[in-house]
């Protein structure tokens, strides 16, 4: 009673009746429903943001599908020449050529071919190779995990190598360590991945008599053989990405460590390591995360010559073979798959950055 009397005497009001959003106030004059409305508005903003990003991504995928389809159709050469060879093609009659083109679905108008292709993709039917009995879907399921492992390992390796190099370089700008780090990053940016891969393969073969397994082995069935297959391309691609990561992280860290909150943390007596680990590095890594997402998508295209150099039976090697044989259906569907994966990775990066950085609003 005494506590109630003291609160009443100080101007506090007792809650009577049901609380109405926007009308009733709590005991301290605030709106008790404000946090609920903020949480609901925040969730709606997130859903709206993700929906917009997915819509833009869908439009991008449609545009890419049209571009891929048209490019595959305007490439010089005849698919029948690729299938039967120049001599075999000359022996075909006009009736036989028309029959084979109709079986492949290449005699229809372009708009009909495009719609049929989209319908097949929606049904999960990616067609078959001209030269092999294997379907493109089975090829993706068999070779795709190897390329995905190479991409993930290369990105992880790029962070393991690039971030420490960037920290050392940013904390001691223009020092010997900084100059060596910048020289190494420029060097690995300039060296073509497939050339470095061929050097590694030849060095292992002539010096140690070692050759990685040629047959694809799944991670679950034979982890050691799988590691031998993917580690070479992953190292080559990871070193190239580490150069990008190191340069981006260095520039971002140099900018962040000059901010007021970093100087304030140092003035409070925190050690240099704690200031970097707790204050500077988390904010400096935001653009690095964005760059890593982009690089992860670019690994798909970059893995084509690297997988060819190592003989890795992944999607990159399949793409190389399809291009050399002019296997239109395999090329068309693999390029479209690369584009879809790249768009999805960019959407995931955008949502992740907006979630990690409170300064970014879902608008």
Query: pLDDT per residue over 65-104, tens digit each?
Result: 899 888 887 776 667 766 776 677 677 777 877 777 777 7
Q: Summarize the confidence of residues 14-34 as an average pLDDT.
A: 43
Q: Is the pLDDT of residue 61 over 70?
A: yes
Angle at the Cα of 259 (from 257 to 262), degrees rounded to 5? 65
Closest CA to 229 of 238, 240, 217, 220: 217
Highest mean predicted confidence (pLDDT) among 24-33, 83-92, 133-142, 205-214: 133-142
Q: Summarize the confidence of residues 30-54 as an average pLDDT.
A: 63
| Cα torsion through 352, 353, 355, 360, rounded to 10 | -150
Enter the DSSP assignment of 280. I
The pLDDT of residue 160:
92
Q: Are 134 and 322 in contact (CB under 8 A)?
A: no
CB atoms within 10 A of CB 330: 27
The pLDDT tens digits for 187-202 are: 888 888 878 888 888 8
The pLDDT of residue 23:
44
The pLDDT of residue 42:
58
C-alpha to C-alpha distances, 16 to 24, 25, 26, 115, nearest whole angstrom? 10, 11, 11, 65
Which residue's entry shows tokens 């709106």? 31
More confident residue, 167 or 211: 167
Closest CA to 238 of 341, 158, 145: 158
More confident residue, 213 or 26: 213
The pLDDT tens digits for 233-251 are: 899 898 888 989 998 888 8
Q: Is the pLDDT of residue 270 over 80?
A: no
More confident residue, 183 or 353: 183
Q: Are 336 and 137 in contact (CB under 8 A)?
A: no
**Measured in whole angstroms, how far is the alpha carbon of residue 141 from the centre of its chain?**
19
The pLDDT of residue 157:
92
The pLDDT of residue 204:
82
């Amino acid at each position: 009673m005494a506590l109630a009397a003291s609160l009443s005497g100080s101007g506090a009001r007792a809650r009577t009746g049901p609380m109405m959003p926007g009308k009733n106030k709590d005991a301290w004059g605030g709106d008790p429903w404000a946090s609920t409305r903020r949480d609901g508005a925040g969730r709606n903003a997130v859903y709206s943001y993700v929906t917009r990003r997915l819509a833009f991504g869908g439009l991008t995928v449609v545009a890419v599908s049209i571009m891929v389809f048209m490019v595959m159709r305007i490439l010089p050469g005849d698919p029948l020449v690729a299938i039967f060879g120049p001599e075999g093609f000359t022996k075909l009659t006009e009736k036989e050529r028309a029959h084979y083109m109709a079986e492949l679905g290449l005699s229809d108008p372009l708009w009909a071919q495009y719609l049929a292709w989209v319908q097949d993709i929606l049904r999960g039917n990616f067609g078959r190779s001209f030269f092999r009995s294997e379907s493109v879907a089975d090829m993706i399921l068999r070779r795709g995990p190897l390329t995905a492992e190479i991409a993930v390992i290369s990105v992880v390796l790029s962070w393991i190598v690039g971030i420490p190099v960037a920290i050392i370089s940013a904390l001691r700008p223009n020092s010997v360590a900084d100059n060596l780090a910048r020289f190494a990053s420029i060097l690995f940016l300039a060296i073509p991945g497939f050339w470095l891969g061929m050097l590694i393969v030849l060095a292992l073969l002539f010096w140690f008599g070692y050759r990685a397994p040629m047959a694809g082995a799944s991670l679950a069935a034979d982890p050691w053989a799988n590691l031998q297959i993917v580690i070479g391309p992953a190292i080559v691609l990871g070193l190239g990405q580490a150069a990008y990561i190191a340069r981006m992280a260095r520039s971002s860290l140099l900018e962040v460590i000059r901010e007021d909150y970093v100087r304030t943390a140092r003035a409070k007596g925190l050690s240099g390591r704690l200031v970097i680990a707790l204050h500077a590095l988390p904010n400096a890594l935001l653009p690095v995360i964005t760059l890593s997402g982009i690089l992860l998508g670019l690994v798909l295209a970059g893995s084509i010559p690297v997988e060819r150099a190592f003989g890795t039976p992944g999607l990159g090697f399949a793409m190389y073979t399809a291009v050399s044989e002019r296997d239109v259906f395999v090329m068309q569907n693999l390029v479209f798959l690369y584009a879809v994966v790249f768009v999805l990775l960019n959407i995931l990066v955008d949502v992740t950055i907006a979630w990690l950085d409170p300064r970014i609003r879902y608008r």
